[in-house]
Homo-oligomer: A and B are copies of this chain.
């Protein structure tokens, strides 16, 4: 069976399906992030209730902990974490960016200094594929280099060529018959480099194509421009995955440019800080205005949190430092994003995406975009200062 089916297109926005041995994923789709084999603060029962169809886990983190031998003992990550739907595993390329102070680039990958215990280890394009075979990931990502916005064009180009070499070699490695591999397009904020990279990836031929190296501190308009350019020249019969995005407004904007798949820690990370999604924008539930508020977070939301609890109660749980706050807030935010994906898909199928997008964005008061991007980079920096970085 074909891996990807394009079911409808409305403008550039696409509705489709990924067919895996562990079930169908309807696109556009958002993948909750289970970096270390668990979506932060919520269980597999919660994920099923929310209707998550696929999750993302991280090769670098799982390689260090629990490690290859434990995963082997369990015949893969699905069994280890108790999740029987599809899993995409990120390669660790992003950790090569966020943990740049803890790694060196070699001809075949990275040498990392573990963020956990400081031990030094090799992390080659081959190690990464081998470990993803062990993990049993439904979708495998090859190792790549993610450039930062303060690099020169020739530095970005050099990294891109090295990435292309790694990926070409990774493509030749054997994976299991129920697994597939995506190519990754790098090339920073340069359209000509993106073009070179897209051509190379198409030449290698993958089950899907990811756009990496975005949402790393650049202006949002630059990101949109690169997404638009790159999505346009990627094959229309394969899924397009924009890595590390994002917020509701970023998702809908990038879907309008032809993206099918997303992952981001944002919904769960901001949830743990009390920031919750509404159709009208974000609210911070720790704010004093919610102390007496007996309404659910969102009256129209059907998630467990909204069906059971009030704003005032969740406000109280945050103020009182109760762990339950993190679970309830994370359930709501993930449900919001996954429900948004469903609504968007419906609007594409009924050829009303533009209308939906316009209506959504007119209601949704997005936080200042530059502030949001600054905030993310500040967070990356603060993690570096602490000597460790956790997604």
Contact = CB atoms under 8 A, between A and B. Distances in A.
Interface stretch (A74-82, A134-142, A184-192): A74-82
Given A82-B308, A309-B82, A38 B69 contact: no
A313 interface: yes
A3 B320 CA distance: 34
Contact of A36 (B65, B69, B322): B322
Contact of A65 (B69, B319, B324, B326): B319
B40 A316 contact: no
Contact of A317 (B38, B294, B323, B324): B38
Contact of A308 (B45, B66, B309, B323): B45
B312 A70 contact: yes
A80 B320 CA distance: 14
Interface in A40-62: 40-45
Contacts of A44: 308
Number of chain copies forming the complex = 2
Interface string A326-364: 111000000000000000000000000000000000000
A-B complex: 3 closest residue pairs judged by Cβ atoms: A41-B323, A36-B320, A66-B316
A319 B292 CA distance: 38
Nearest to A37: B316
Given A70-B312, A82-B308, A313-B37, A327 B323 contact: yes
Interface in A190-224: none
A379 interface: no
Nearest to A81: B313
A319 B309 CA distance: 31
Interface of A: 36-38, 40-45, 65-66, 69-70, 73-74, 80-82, 291-292, 294, 304, 308-310, 312-313, 316-317, 319-320, 322-324, 326-328
A65 B320 contact: yes
Contacts of A66: 291, 312, 316, 319
A327 B320 CA distance: 17
A243 to B, nearest CB: 22
Contact of A291 (B38, B70, B310, B313): B70
Interface centre among A43, A69, A81, A292 (most CB of B within 10 A): A43
A80 B291 CA distance: 12
A323 B319 CA distance: 18
Nearest to A326: B323
Contact of A43 (B37, B292, B328): B328
A147 to B, nearest CB: 29
A269 to B, nearest CB: 12
Contact of A74 (B70, B294, B304, B320): B294
A277 B294 CA distance: 38
Given A43-B324, A324-B43, A74 B310 contact: yes
A41 B324 contact: yes
A89 to B, nearest CB: 16
A82 B44 CA distance: 22
Nearest to A49: B45
